[in-house]
Amino acid sequence: MRTITCLAVVLPLTGIVLPVARIEGQSREVVVLRSTTGVRPETGSVLLRPAGLAVDNMPLATALTRLSETSKVSIAFSPSFLPQGHRVNCRCETVTVATALDYLLGGTNFGYVVLDDQVLVSPKPSIKADDRYVPTAALGAVTLDAGIRLAASALPGFLTAQDRTAISGTVTDAATGQPLADVRISVVDAALQSVSDGRGLYRLTGVPVGQVMIQARRIGYRAMDRSVTVPASHPLTVDLALTPSVVTLNEMIVSGTAGDLTRKAQSATVAEIGVSDIAATTPARTLDQVLQSRVPGVSVNAGSGASGTTSEIRIRGAASISLSNEPLIYVDGIRVTSQASPLFFTASFFLGGQVPSRLSEFDPKEIESIEVVKGPAAATLYGADASAGVINIITKKGPAGSRRFTQSIGAEYQHIDPNFVPPANYDRCTAPLVAPTSPNPLCRGKAVGELVSDNPLVREGVFRNGSTKALSWSGSGGGPTFGVFLFGAYETEDGTLPNNGFDRRSGRANFTWTPASKFTVDVNAGLHRANISLPNNNDDGHGYLAATIGTPLTRRDDGVDGPNGWFKPDGAAIALIENTQQTHRVTTSLSATFAPWPWFTHRVTTGADWGRDEMLRYLPKNSRSSYFGSNTGDLNVARAGFERYTFDYLGNARIPTGSTIVHNLSAGFQVVSSRQELLQASGVGFSVNSNNLVGAAAAKGADQSYFLQRQVGFLGQWQGSYRDRLFVQLGARLDANSAFGDVADWFFLPKAGISYVVSEEPWWQRQIGFVNTLRLRLAYGQTGRAPNAGAALRTLASAPYVTILGTQQPGVVPLSPGNDSLKAERGVEFEAGFDAGFFNDRAGIEFTFYNKVSRDLLLQRPLSPSLGFSQTPFVNIGELSNRGVEVAFTAQPILGKTVSWDVRVGLSTLDSEIRDMGGVAPFLTAGGANRVMVGYQPGVFIGNRIRSIDVASKRVIVSDTAEVIGNTMPTIEGNVSTNLTLFSRLRLYALLDGKAGYYNYNLNDLFRENSLIRSNLRLDPTALSPEERLRRFGDETPGRPPFVRENGTPATINEVRDAYVQKADFLRLREVSATLTVPASWAAYIRAQGATITVAGQNLALWTKYGGVDPEVISSTRSGGSDAFNIFDFLGLPPTRRAVVRVNLQY
């Protein structure tokens, strides 16, 4: 600890006697300045003392003297320099000294600074500093010689170019000494930002001369705030060493809050994912993969291994039964479309769960971070559509003021292994097939009844190794007042099936402009173009996997057309089927921040998300019987467009009262407008395949759909803080949505919360030393989810009729009886938890308990079908509860320059239960195996349970009615990831994750063993034990029912399915990687300034007792509503295994 002695220095120009501090042991004096009028004083500053002043029409000098008396703060000024005759009023009894001074000096040419405990009032015009300013190695202080004329040299908004200079330096990891990239360095109150490059270098230009506060922020490191005094004579070098930390209470977050944006001020959990690191050092290539197993409570399930397909994302379980449970997606503050084109959910493009991914339209390399707003407690400010959570994607920005341009080039290759051996088909030879003249090569010459097998997929070598090739470039830099980030990427992937793959092109240009210190504008634009080709699969007779239900008895070698062991079309014919989507998308946003006064900020964010999908499905004309029904060519084309516009305004006032209390008042409004349209045409019958246009078809059809939905919300929030460690939030939002028309009541969404950083109490460290950080938090909030526009209306649907003359005329049929009192679902959430850091924040834990209740749950109360409506209306009658705990434990057991090791453990539980269905009878989802019923998770698997098995009599007794078998959503999810860094250059990483407490419906086996008998387990009597045979197939005696209910009536295998709804618990080695940071001298050989090489693997091992290929396969579209709970595994492609090589170069 250095001691400081106060001296006095005379400012020549002003004549003011300026106290100056002298640091013991140094020859030069140090002045610690508070430079900026109105900025938030530091904790403990005299400026935070109560002013206690009340003056009316009083000369300024007298008022300043009076303020000094009432506040007991020494205020130095020169009366003769003050504007003569200037009189002031000030009702400043309850405000701070800073606020009072702001007010008294407003309109004058005077500002003030703080020198130790004394306030100095001096003229604002800066006095050019000269070369007497000399930077020191010690940050936060600057030495100076006598004759200082600093005064208000750093007052923002009053500086000329000559009053600005530059700061540059290197950011390193304090533990390892290695350079740190992607550290965001900013100058407080000057709206200047920079981002360190791959060598840890950063540069800020246009920095005001004088004392400034610089901040350094990076996920995973303790936030650093440094006060430095910037000389005008030459650029200042400030090297920063950031300390790794698992507790990040001082991080800034931008999602779901207003006012004080530091994490410690937030009462509800907002998780942040540092995407840059993940994209650089793990095999994750898509945003789905980036989100997977990173945040407790966020469940990501890739239902298909087909290239280009999406994953299902659930945050804290399912918030709704009838509406989509996908979270809202925001990019740089504007809401974007996350749903795939609606056509993929229709019969004409039925590809099951193989739905193109919208999230993949954003490349992780263009993203700085992702914030996950988990539930209503945090999502209230997002309005009545956010109950399933919000994912906010924050793209990279150019470092304004850096005055240089850095570039990064990335190249990647992935080898894709199908990771799947399809099962062989079995059957018993029949008499005609064993004859010498039999066309069947498998049975010819065999005995009648002999078991033969065939595996068309293996026989014809359908599966192949796929590959991904990706190339990306990014550049970022900036001038004195602007920053720019540019990004471009190309990626192409061949899937493991012949007609599966994609190529994507992405581009982004983000521009930041700071024309004045009070005004910042961000303009962001992202472009995306993709061509995706998907195979047929998932409960599709034209699919490759349908070959697993073909029969060897159809094999023939006589050249006659037929299935030849396939289910219907053979592999060559399936490969000719085209399912393509071409996507063009533009996502733009503009965000402007204007701070007219230091205590007040306006922020306007507006933007648009435009996109168009062009889809084609073509079953080609052929001379064989390749496809069901038609061999003349069958075409479906569609164009689906979406537009979403967001306008968001937020005003924030920061009002200190006294020295310890600060109020943040925020108010704003948000408007979101979404439009979707679909134009579809079809044609059957073509003369040649090259002429496959709708106009050339023998028969044609067309369809169109369109809807527009708008949402308006007004929000307000008060946030109070006490000594910057106790925070209270009260907020609300009023929302309206066009789903209900203009007559519906506004939707009121309150929120409240407390956050208390106990460990910042002075007594804490004395009492509990090893727990160096502890924050307690408690939050309550509400949000909602609305159905599509028109859901409340009584409606008819267009339905043509055939006239007596055989022509077609427009007609109508009843559609929905409507519901005048329809409103949005209301998600009400309470969460409580703590964040703790131990051993100097080397270990940390985040614990959260949440209880999320969806009230006014929208259910489609089934109508009596005899009423004649084809659509059941929504009614707000149900209640769904999701509760659980989320634990994130992180530790850095070893932290050194040669070896460092960190471990992260995530765990979440989910206890989901439908509490009330308002009298609606339990109902089945489309597949018939999942039921929505009170007392259980939505969509639990049901079936008639086996009560007893008598091997001797072959009698299998089952329950009289269908009973619950198990959950569809995991009740426990966990993951462990670890990084081991050796010699600061080699980073080894692994991620192991698992899910438990849920089931999947192995419809593959049920179908192969019972519906179409193709399985050796069924056909080979020795393959299973007698008891297991009975459990699966029941009594196989001809003429006897397979299963018998307890009441004596027969039951079918489809009703029982007890053996096929199987536990899906699994443990998976999801990711491993090794990343080498190449020495700079090596990188220099290719003129690079830095380079990394990553070798990684994905899905390398799976441990499960599930009887199917992979427990994560889900073959249904899960397009939302109760279909989301229609869970089964049938003819789906399992997740692939990948090997990755990636090189990143920095220039």
Partner 1 sequence: MRSSSAILRVSAFLAMGAGALSCSDYLTVENPSVIAIDEIDPMADATTLSNSAHQNFATAHGWLIMYSGWFTGETDVSETFPTRHDFGRRAIGPTNTNLNTDLWAPLSLAIASSYIVLEVNLPNPDANLDYVRARHALAWAYLFMAEQFCSGVARGGPELNTAQLLDSAVVHFGAAVTGGNANNSAEGVALARSALVGRARARLQAGQKAGAVTDANAVPAGFTFNLLYFDDLSRRTRLGNRLWQFTADRGSIGVAPVWRVTDPRLKWRLAPSNLLPQDGSYVLNRGAPHAVQDEYPAFNTPIRLASKLEADYIAAEAQSTAAMLTLIQARRSANDQPAYVGPTDAASVLAELEDQRGREFYLEGKRLGDLRRNGPAVRYAPAPGAPYWRPGAAPIGNQTCFPVPQVERDNNPNLSP
Q: Which is nearer to partner 1, 96 or 682 (CB)?
A: 682
The single residue among 73, 95, 113, 815 that binds partner 1, judged by CB under 8 A, is: 815
Q: Of 23-31, 65-73, 243-251, 737-745, which part binds partner 1 (CB under 8 A)?
A: 737-745
Site for partner 1 in 583-622 (CB under 8 A): 596, 602
Q: Which is nearer to partner 1, 851 or 872 (CB)?
A: 872
Q: Which is nearer to partner 1, 437 or 866 (CB)?
A: 866
The answer to whether residue 807 forms part of the interface with partner 1 (CB under 8 A) is: yes
The answer to whether residue 812 forms part of the interface with partner 1 (CB under 8 A) is: yes
C-alpha dist (Å) from residue 897 to 172, 331, 982, 989: 12, 37, 8, 18
The answer to whether residue 814 forms part of the interface with partner 1 (CB under 8 A) is: yes
Name the minimum Å distance from CB 1042 to partner 1.
6
Name the minimum Å distance from CB 1038 to partner 1.
6
CA angle 626, 629, 634 (to 5 degrees): 80
Q: Which is nearer to partner 1, 13 or 799 (CB)?
A: 799
Q: Which is nearer to partner 1, 397 or 617 (CB)?
A: 617
> Kind of pairing, strands 201-208 and 210-217?
unpaired
The Cα 811–Cα 336 span in angstroms is 36
With beta carbons less than 8 A apart as the criterion, state whether 689 and 633 touch: yes
C-alpha dist (Å) from residue 333 to 602, 604, 734: 15, 10, 19
The answer to whether residue 567 forms part of the interface with partner 1 (CB under 8 A) is: yes
Site string for partner 1, 683-722 (x = CB under 8 A): xx------------x-xxxxx-xxxx-x-x----------
Q: Which is nearer to partner 1, 722 or 801 (CB)?
A: 801
* Region of residue 177 (left: phi > 0; alpha: psi -120 to 50; beta: else): left
The Cα 859–Cα 323 span in angstroms is 9
The Cα 144–Cα 248 span in angstroms is 35
Name the minimum Å distance from CB 733 to partner 1.
14
Site for partner 1 in 780-799 (CB under 8 A): 788-790, 792-799
Name the minimum Å distance from CB 371 to partner 1.
27
Site string for partner 1, 425-464 (x = CB under 8 A): --x--x----------------------------------
The Cα 148–Cα 209 span in angstroms is 13
Site string for partner 1, 626-645 (x = CB under 8 A): --xxxx--------------
Q: Which is nearer to partner 1, 928 or 1120 (CB)?
A: 928
**Helix/strand/coil (H, E, C) string of 1005-1059?**
HHHHHHHCCCCHHHHCCCCCCHHHHHHHHCCCCCCCCCEEECCCCEECHHHHCCC
Name the minimum Å distance from CB 797 to partner 1.
6
Site for partner 1 in 525-564 (CB under 8 A): 541, 550-551, 553-554, 561, 563
Q: Which residues pair with 833 in a beta bridge?
A: 777, 848
Give the interface size with partner 1 as a residue count (CB under 8 A). Answer: 108
The answer to whether residue 737 forms part of the interface with partner 1 (CB under 8 A) is: yes
Site string for partner 1, 991-1010 (x = CB under 8 A): ----------------x--x
Amino acid at position 806, single letter: G
Name the minimum Å distance from CB 1129 to partner 1.
17
Q: Which is nearer to partner 1, 591 or 979 (CB)?
A: 591
With beta carbons less than 8 A apart as the criterion, state whether 377 and 446 touch: no
Residue 282 structure tokens: 């793990």
The answer to whether residue 572 forms part of the interface with partner 1 (CB under 8 A) is: no
The answer to whether residue 808 forms part of the interface with partner 1 (CB under 8 A) is: yes
The answer to whether residue 1023 forms part of the interface with partner 1 (CB under 8 A) is: no
> Kind of pairing, strands 328-331 and 334-336?
antiparallel
C-alpha dist (Å) from residue 39 to 190, 392, 653: 11, 29, 12
Task: Report which secondary-structure segment, H or E, holds 165.
Answer: strand 164-173
C-alpha dist (Å) from residue 436 to 442, 443, 450, 555, 709: 11, 9, 15, 15, 69
Name the minimum Å distance from CB 107 to partner 1.
8
The answer to whether residue 818 forms part of the interface with partner 1 (CB under 8 A) is: yes
Name the minimum Å distance from CB 880 to partner 1.
21
The answer to whether residue 1047 forms part of the interface with partner 1 (CB under 8 A) is: no
Name the minimum Å distance from CB 866 to partner 1.
4
Name the minimum Å distance from CB 749 to partner 1.
17
Q: Of 82-90, 175-183, 397-405, 675-683, which part binds partner 1 (CB under 8 A)?
A: 675-683
Task: Report which secondary-structure segment, H or E, holds 414.
Answer: strand 405-417
What are the residues whose beta carbons fall under 8 Å from the beta carbon of 43, sequence distance 6 or more? 723, 724
Name the minimum Å distance from CB 352 to partner 1.
15
Across the beta sheet with 334-336, what order do the strands follow? 270-274, 367-373, 390-395, 328-331, 334-336
CB atoms within 10 A of CB 802: 10
Site for partner 1 in 847-906 (CB under 8 A): 861-870
CA angle 188, 189, 195 (to 5 degrees): 45
Cα 617 → chain centroid: 31
Q: Which is nearer to partner 1, 81 or 645 (CB)?
A: 645
Nearest to 256 by CA among 125, 118, 445, 387: 387
Q: Which is nearer to partner 1, 395 or 564 (CB)?
A: 564
Cα 600 → chain centroid: 30
Site for partner 1 in 902-941 (CB under 8 A): 921, 923-924, 926, 928
Name the minimum Å distance from CB 386 to partner 1.
18
The single residue among 521, 976, 1012, 1067 that binds partner 1, judged by CB under 8 A, is: 1012
**Dihedral, CA atoms, 424, 427, 428, 434, nearest 10 degrees?**
-80
Task: Report which secondary-structure segment, H or E, holds 825.
Answer: strand 825-838
The answer to whether residue 624 forms part of the interface with partner 1 (CB under 8 A) is: yes
Q: Which residues pair with 184 in a beta bridge?
A: 195, 217
Nearest to 663 by CA among 598, 728, 758: 728
Length of the chain: 1147
The single residue among 810, 952, 953, 1048 that binds partner 1, judged by CB under 8 A, is: 810
